Amino acid sequence: MSAKVFATALRFGSARTRMHSRRLLNSSDMRFVSANAEISRSASKRSTEKHEAMSEPSNAANAASAHVADSFIPKNNMPLINHIELRVASVDASEKFYDPLCEHLGYYKHLRIGACILYRSKDGIGDLIIKRTRTAGKGKTYDEEAPGFAHLAWNANSRHEVDSLHKLLKTIDAVVLDPPCEMSYSPGYYAVWFQDPDGMKLEYAFTPMQNPTLQAEFKRLKARKK
């Protein structure tokens, strides 16, 4: 993908295409694009691309954006969930709750713009977005049994992490529905359940039998006891 096509994208593409192209130009990945694109192309092919870009700028811009989006993100390393958005009544109240919670879970506050907060994950899981609900939805309250969102659970790496979050929840006066305890869902399942300021049910769970390494170790120890 040539730098000229990116320039075309920035100049002639749609607003969405221009924004996408700027992000690419500002990213470290752009160095990879430029190196691979320019070295491999012959002078004649660059001339052809220039002609196509000038004659059909919008198509070239969209093709540039699509090609980069499709080819340079390692799909096998992408998180399964891109983002989760929670609608809240008060962003200020939710910010006081989610700031310490997200820090404990491995997120960092990427930005806050007005009534919207974006928390980014440090280890590549999907983003968490907190956004104020629209006026039409303010009269509705959370119902775990209603169609739609029931509860959100995050993985813990150990029982200690579950216990540590429980202590944190008490310091921020969060509503704890069930303190850390073992459940019969699977061997070693250990979790804490709590609510956010809008009453949405959240969970932090250590589930060793869902970890292949721990599962193998569990089976090995179980076999030794026989």
pLDDT, tens only, 51-103: 455 445 555 555 555 554 454 455 556 667 889 999 999 999 999 999 999 99
Residue 24 belongs to what domain range? 3-76
Separation between Cα atoms, residue 226 and residue 66, nearest integer Å: 58
DSSP conformation class of 72 = S
- Top pLDDT among 129 and 40 is at 129
Q: Evaluate whether 65 touches 20 at the Cβ level (below 8 Å).
A: yes
CB atoms within 10 A of CB 182: 12
pTM: predicted TM-score of the whole model, two decimal places: 0.60
- Report, in angstroms and rounded to the nearest whole number, the Rg of the chain calculated over CA atoms: 24
Residues 131 and 152 in one domain: no
First-to-last alpha carbon distance for the chain, in angstroms, is 61
Look at residues 88, 110, 140 and tell me which one is the last residue of a structural domain.
140
Q: Evaluate whether 182 touches 188 at the Cβ level (below 8 Å).
A: yes
Residues 222 and 151 in one domain: yes
Look at residues 76, 92, 116 and tell me which one is the last residue of a structural domain.
76
What's the number of domains the chain is made of? 3
Whether pLDDT at 191 is above 90: yes
Look at residues 76, 91, 108 and tell me which one is the last residue of a structural domain.
76
Q: What is the pLDDT of residues 94-138, one digit of tens each?
A: 999 999 999 999 999 999 999 999 999 887 778 999 999 887 666
Residues 222 and 198 in one domain: yes
Residues 221 and 149 in one domain: yes
**What CATH number should be reported for the domain holding residue 217?**
3.10.180.10
